[in-house]
């Protein structure tokens, strides 16, 4: 060990009592003495060696062994601390450094000392003591987290000395924000000199200002701009805070700040626009919207509601809905309001009547909903509604019509009964009596009797027809059955078999196999009978009769046709009357004018439809559409 | 040859009743007939007849629409009495209401439905059926 320095130390201590007192303030455990300016020349005591875990028998003789333990990054810091202490004549040299111990474990230590010598020539001795700092790793982790969490870019710069003069700053550390700002990774920056990395610092004089802050120990604030083409382009507000080894720079990105502020303003504008939009949507919607408090006092009413009802907002707000708008339906509206309280967050529909300013009754379909606030408590009632006055009136009219129709139907029923029983019994008597008279009257009167018989028979037939038509209206649905149309047609044709053979007519059936219709059996028989007999009746006598019966499905609807090559009809002339009762067109004596009327009644009673196409001299085609 | 010795005519309308009687008289198969103006009288008549003759009439020609007791009510009260359940009944009605015809099918003792006016031809057909 450096015996010379040890002796020197004791001599200094002996000479200068105040020095010992000052040193005593911290510690004398791990004592050392450095010669200045040659700081490689130093001596440490055994406590110092113990602190760095050197075994007692391995106390290093060479001071270079000890100086090699200092973390190389801290060398500058040590230099600058010494310079500051000596040149500025500060009370203490005080620095935190990293050193490796005997086992190579890196640790944090605090070194404090006092210069003894000539500050002008910077020559003499630095005498001091070093103490270990606990849990340095933890501190570093916390430090890292803290600076990384900062919204400002933080640069920890260490003054770089050349000949005890600050020539540059070395980047010791930066936080994440600074990494982002410069778009460079931390590892590429740490250890670098700022004037070399960012020449702009020199060009714009930033370096001079950092240096001034560092040396004067006075923090300052500046705004500056990094032009385009340099790392970290933008406007900044910079806080430069000096510390022992250098300066810490806190950079606030003004560009980002301005941008954020602009975005915030824009967002605010958008929100306002949206608000206006929704306000106008709500006001111009053709739905009524209002809100009340839990008691039912109006807190909001949309424009449409006010306009449609002719109310004034000022006179309505604050009033209770039972008292003003829904006074006609107080019970109903209070019921729905209590539903909103017991079952909030779902719509409760209700129809309520209101008399508007003009005195007109308006029926509204309303939906009430209890709204919950952020805390989940019922805070207000929302109500949306629309005018259904027309619908309600139409419904009432429909009900009226139904009851009228019902009455008429009832009367028709009793009429049918009277026809069926009373009138019919008299006509039957007349017919019977006329038959009876044949035996007793003389030859002269027999002609009149014949006429009476015929009249009686006609009357009977008319009554029968009338009754058939009246009974068509009665409950046809239950009577409907599935009918194979082809079978039905064939069965009907057997009735005409002889007649058709006699007139040498042909019937062509083109009905798909298994073509089933849903119809009342008696009606389909009657319809086919009527249509086929018409075809036969109104054939062209100079031509052989040809009747085609076919069936199919068009647009999902079943139909069947009976087409003939008969006399045909002038539809323009008779079209409207063709299906009327007691209408005859051919001057045919057999014609009763009843068949087609009955046919149409039967088809329409089952929601079907009959169409006719005809041409005089060419034939007629009846098409029956079924509602099937 | 008389097949139906005793015939009850239950009919309120005198003309109709007359026509029925006249028609019956013209056919050999029918014997004597008794006329009642409504169902109630006919029931009484039936009881009196069975007391006197120890049996029932061979045929009842029954009208539907009658005052006091109509045809249906008459049929209902016959169903309740087993001693009358075997009598042959033909409904003779001016009604052309399909409902009446349907309804008559629910009575087992009704063996026919004839519409008025009754004629000799219709009666002869009936005799063949019964």
Question: Of the CATH numbers 1.20.120.160, 3.40.50.300, 3.40.190.10, 3.40.50.2300, which one belongs to the domain with range B4-129?
Answer: 3.40.50.2300
**What pLDDT, on the 0 to 100 scale, is given for residue B8?**
93
Question: Which positions in chain A touch B15 (Cβ < 8 Å)?
Answer: 429, 432-433
Nearest to B10 by CA among B41, B32, B55: B41
Q: What is the 3-state secondary structure (H, E, C) of A332-364?
A: HHHHHHHHHHHCCCCCEEEEEEEECCCCCEEEE
Whole-angstrom Cα distance, residue A246 to residue A159? 5
pLDDT band at B10 (very low <50, low <70, confident <90, very high): very high
The predicted structure's pLDDT at residue B35: 92
Counted across chains A and B, CB pairs separated by less than 8 A come out at 52
Contact A429 B98 (CB under 8 A): no
pLDDT along chain A (628 residues), means of 10: 74 75 68 81 82 80 76 84 87 87 83 86 86 67 78 87 86 87 85 85 84 88 82 83 86 80 87 80 76 90 86 88 85 88 89 87 90 87 89 88 82 76 81 80 74 80 74 64 89 83 88 88 84 88 89 90 89 74 57 74 84 89 88
Tell me how far apart the alpha carbons of residues A509 and A511 are, in angstroms, rounded to a whole number.
6
The structure tokens listed for A39 are 């700081």
Three-class secondary structure of residue A202 per DSSP = helix
Q: Assess B19–A contact: CB distance below 8 Å, yes or no.
A: yes
* Residue B129 DSSP SS3: helix
CA dist B17 and B66 (Å) reads 12
Substitution target in A413, A416, A429 with the highest count of B β-carbons within 10 Å is A429
Q: Where would I find the H helices in A114-169?
A: 136-149
Contact of A461 with chain B, judged by CB distance below 8 Å, is answered with: no
- Cα distance from A473 to chain B (closest Cα, Å)? 13
d(CA A155, CA A194) in angstroms, rounded, equals 10
* CA-closest candidate to residue A604, choices A571, A623, A583, A626: A626
Contact at CB, B98 and A433, closer than 8 angstroms: no
Chain A contacts of B19, Cβ < 8 Å? 429, 432-433, 436
Mutate to test the interface with B, among A413, A416, A420 (most CBs of B within 10 A): A420
Interface test with A, best of B93, B97, B124 (most A CBs within 10 A): B97
Cis ω for the linkage preceding B62 (within 30 of 0): no
pLDDT of residue A144: 77
On chain A, the residues whose CB falls within 8 A of the CB of B103 are none
C-alpha of A381 from chain center:
23
Query: Rounded CA gap, A464 and A473, in Å?
Result: 15
Three-class SS of residue A605?
helix
- What is the model's pLDDT at position A587? 55
Interchain CB distance below 8 Å, A432 and B98: no
| Per-residue confidence (pLDDT) for residue A27, from 0 to 100 | 63
Please work out, in degrees rounded to the nearest 5, the angle formed at the alpha carbon of residue A579 by the alpha carbons of A575 and A585. Answer: 65
Arithmetic mean of pLDDT, B28-41: 89
Which residue in A has a C-alpha nearest to residue B16's C-alpha? A429
Burial of A609 (0-12, 13-18, 19+ CB in 10 A): middle
Between B98, B100, B117, which is nearest A428 by CB? B117
Residues of A in contact with B13 (CB under 8 A): 425, 429
Q: Tell me if B118 and A417 make a contact (CB, 8 A cut-off).
A: no
Buried b (16+ CB within 10 A) or exposed e, A323-347: ebbbeebeebbeebbebbeeebeee
B20 → chain A, closest CA residue = A432
Cβ-based contacts of A421 with chain B (< 8 Å): 64-65, 94-95, 97
Q: Which of A416, A425, A467 is facing B13, going by the closest CB pair? A: A425
Exposure of A249 by Cβ count < 10 A (0-12 exposed, 13-18 middle, 19+ buried)? buried
Residue among B98, B125, B101 at smallest CA distance from B113: B101
Structure tokens at A425: 């019994």
Q: Are A364 and A355 in contact (CB under 8 A)?
A: no
pLDDT, residue A593, reads: 64
At A391 the three-state DSSP class reads helix
Residue A221 · residue A239 · CB < 8 Å: yes
Span B80-94, average pLDDT: 83
Token pair, residue A231, equals: 């790392």
- Nearest-neighbour CA in chain B from A433: distance (Å): 7
pLDDT computed for residue A530 by the predictor: 87
Are A122 and A86 in contact, with CB atoms under 8 Å apart?
A: yes
pLDDT at A547: 92
């Amino acid at each position: 060990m450096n015996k010379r320095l040890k002796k020197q130390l004791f001599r200094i201590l002996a000479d200068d009592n105040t020095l010992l007192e000052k040193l005593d303030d911290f510690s004398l455990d791990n004592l050392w003495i450095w010669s200045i300016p040659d700081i490689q020349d130093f001596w440490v005591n055994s406590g110092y060696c113990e602190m760095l875990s050197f075994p007692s028998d391995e106390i290093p003789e060479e001071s270079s062994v000890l100086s090699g333990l200092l973390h190389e990054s801290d060398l500058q810091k040590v230099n600058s601390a010494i310079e500051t202490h000596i040149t500025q004549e500060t009370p203490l040299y005080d620095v935190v450094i990293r050193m490796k111990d005997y086992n190579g474990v890196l640790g944090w230590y605090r070194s404090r000392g006092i210069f003894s010598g000539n500050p002008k020539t910077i020559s003499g001795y630095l005498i001091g003591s070093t103490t270990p700092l606990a849990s340095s790793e933890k501190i570093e982790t916390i430090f890292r987290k803290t600076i990384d969490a900062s919204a400002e870019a933080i640069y920890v710069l260490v003054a770089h000395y050349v000949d005890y003069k600050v020539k540059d700053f070395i980047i010791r550390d930066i936080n994440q924000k600074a990494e982002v700002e410069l778009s460079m990774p931390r590892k590429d920056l740490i250890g670098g000199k700022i004037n070399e990395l960012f020449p702009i610092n020199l060009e714009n004089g930033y370096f001079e200002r950092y240096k001034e802050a560092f040396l004067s120990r006075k923090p300052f604030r500046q705004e500056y701009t990094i032009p385009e083409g340099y790392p970290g382009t933008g406007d900044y507000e910079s806080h430069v805070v000096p510390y022992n080894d250098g300066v810490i720079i806190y950079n606030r990105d003004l560009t980002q700040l301005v941008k954020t502020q602009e975005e915030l303003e824009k967002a605010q504008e958008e929100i306002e626009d949206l608000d206006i939009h929704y306000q106008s949507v709500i006001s111009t919607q053709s739905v009524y919207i209002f809100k009340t408090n839990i008691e039912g006092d109006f807190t909001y009413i949309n424009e449409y509601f006010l306009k449609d009802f002719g109310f004034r907002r000022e006179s309505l707000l604050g009033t209770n809905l039972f008292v003003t708008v829904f006074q006609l339906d107080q019970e109903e509206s209070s019921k729905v309001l209590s539903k909103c309280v017991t079952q909030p967050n779902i719509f409760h529909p209700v129809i309520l009547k209101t008399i508007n300013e003009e005195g007109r009754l308006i029926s509204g379909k309303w939906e009430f909903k209890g709204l919950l606030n952020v805390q989940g408590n019922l805070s207000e009632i929302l109500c949306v509604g629309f005018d259904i006055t027309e619908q309600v009136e139409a419904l009432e009219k429909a009900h009226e019509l139904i009851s009228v129709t019902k009455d008429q139907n009832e009367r028709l029923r009793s009429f049918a009964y009277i026809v069926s029983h009373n009138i019919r019994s008299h006509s039957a008597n007349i017919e019977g009596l006329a038959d009876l008279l044949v035996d007793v009257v003389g030859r002269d009167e027999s002609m009149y009797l014949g006429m009476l018989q015929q009249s009686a028979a006609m009357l009977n037939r008319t009554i029968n027809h009338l009754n058939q038509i009246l009974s068509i209206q009665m409950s046809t649905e239950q009577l409907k059955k599935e009918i194979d149309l082809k079978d039905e047609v064939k069965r009907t044709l057997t009735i005409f078999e002889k007649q058709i053979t006699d007139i040498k007519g042909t019937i062509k059936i083109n009905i798909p196999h298994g073509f089933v219709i849903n119809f009342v059996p008696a009606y389909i028989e009657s319809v086919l009978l009527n249509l086929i007999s018409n075809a036969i009746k109104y054939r062209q006598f100079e031509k052989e009769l040809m009747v085609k019966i076919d069936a199919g499905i068009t647009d999902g609807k079943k139909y069947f046709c009976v087409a003939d090559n008969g006399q045909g009809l002038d539809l323009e002339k008779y079209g409207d009357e063709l299906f009327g009762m007691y209408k005859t067109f051919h001057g045919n004596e057999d014609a009763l004018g009843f068949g087609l009327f009955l046919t149409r009644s039967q088809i329409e009673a089952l929601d079907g439809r009959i169409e006719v196409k005809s041409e005089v001299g060419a034939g007629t085609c009846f098409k029956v559409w079924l509602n099937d | 040859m008389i097949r139906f010795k005793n015939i009850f005519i239950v009919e309120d309308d005198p003309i109709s009743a007359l026509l029925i009687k006249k028609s019956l008289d013209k056919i050999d198969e029918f014997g004597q007939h008794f006329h009642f103006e409504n169902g109630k009288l006919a029931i009484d008549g039936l009881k009196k007849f069975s007391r006197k003759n120890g049996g029932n009439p061979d045929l009842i020609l029954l009208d539907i629409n009658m005052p006091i007791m109509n045809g249906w009510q008459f049929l209902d009260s016959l169903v309740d009495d087993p001693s009358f359940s075997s009598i042959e009944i033909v409904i003779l009605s001016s009604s052309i209401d399909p409902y009446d015809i349907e309804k008559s099918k629910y009575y087992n003792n009704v063996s026919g439905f004839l519409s008025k006016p009754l004629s000799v031809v219709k009666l002869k057909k009936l005799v063949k059926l019964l």
